Every structure is written in C-alpha cells, then in structure tokens.
Amino acid sequence: MNARGIRTTTMAAAIVFAAVVAASLSGCQTKVVTSGATQQDTVTVAGTGVALSKPDRADVTFSVSSSASDPKTAMSKAAVVSDRVTKAVKGAGVADKDLQTTGVTLSPKYTYKDGASLVTGYEATVEARRA
C-alpha cells in the first residue's frame, strides 16, 4: 500500500472513530460508509483533546535487606525495618488489604580463603508491594 493509501485508510479509521464517539455521546445512531478506493474529494478532520484528573492510585514496591552474623538476627532486623516501612505506607492512606508481601529470602554470605568457602553471615530480605 502506498503512502496515499495509508493516509486514506488512517483517515477513514479516524472518521469512523469520531463518528462512534459522537454517537455514544449524543445518543443518536450514526452510519459511516468508507471505501478503500482513493478518492479525489476528501474530508479532513483534526482535533486536540486534553484530559486532566487527580491521581487516585500509586504503585509502591519496596524491599528491605539486613545482614547479621546469625540468621535469626538478620531476619529479625529485616522484619523490624519492613514493619516500619509498612506502617509509613499505611499512614499515607494505603489500606492493609492493599499491601502484599511478595518475597522473603535468607541467604548465607560467604568469603573464600585458600580455596574453601566460609559462611561469614546472613542476609535477609523482605519484599512487599501495594496490591
């Protein structure tokens, strides 16, 4: 399809869209007939629209990581900080039902010496999001 054919098809689609919108807004029925053939007489439609609204939702995702020499302390520290962040998010107006924990991980931290790996501590991570 050449450039003129593409413009004609695009214009026909725009006219059909405008007619459907006009019909739905005015409650009347509109019938639009288009053809794929190139025509000498044309109708040009141009418009600009702006829609403004206040945001009514924010997507929030956070993760908290904590390190310690033992796994229990690493998890406890991550849970305390995660709880603080969760309370702050709730304080900003997010309902409890809209918060969801998406992951909890506990991983050893290693160091390597003389070809051997040694556990030097643990890292705990808690991930959550506004559902």
Question: pLDDT tens, 60-111?
Answer: 788 889 999 999 999 999 999 999 888 888 888 888 899 999 999 999 999 9
* DSSP code string of 23-79: HHHHS--------SS--SS-------------------EEEEEEEESSHHHHHHHHH
Which has the closest alpha carbon to 22: 12, 10, 32? 32
Domains, the chain, ranges and CATH? 1-52 (no CATH), 61-130 (3.30.70.2970)
Report the percentage of the chain scoring pLDDT > 90.
34
Assign 38 a pLDDT band (cuts: 50, 70, 90).
low
Residue with the larger pLDDT of the pair 36 and 81? 81
The tokens describing 100, both together, are 């969801």
**3-class DSSP state of 93:** coil
- Predicted confidence at residue 49, as pLDDT, reads 77
- Dihedral angle, C-alpha 117, 119, 121, 127, nearest 10 °: 80
Q: Can you say how many angstroms the Cα of residue 10 is from the centroid of all Cα atoms in its chain?
A: 30
- Predicted confidence at residue 30, as pLDDT, reads 44
The half-sphere exposure of 34 on its side-chain side, counting CA atoms within 13 A, is 17
* Phi, psi dihedral angles at 103 (to 5 degrees): -175, 145
Min mean pLDDT across 37-41, 83-87, 120-124, 126-130 is at 37-41
Mean pLDDT of the chain: 76
- Predicted confidence at residue 8, as pLDDT, reads 53
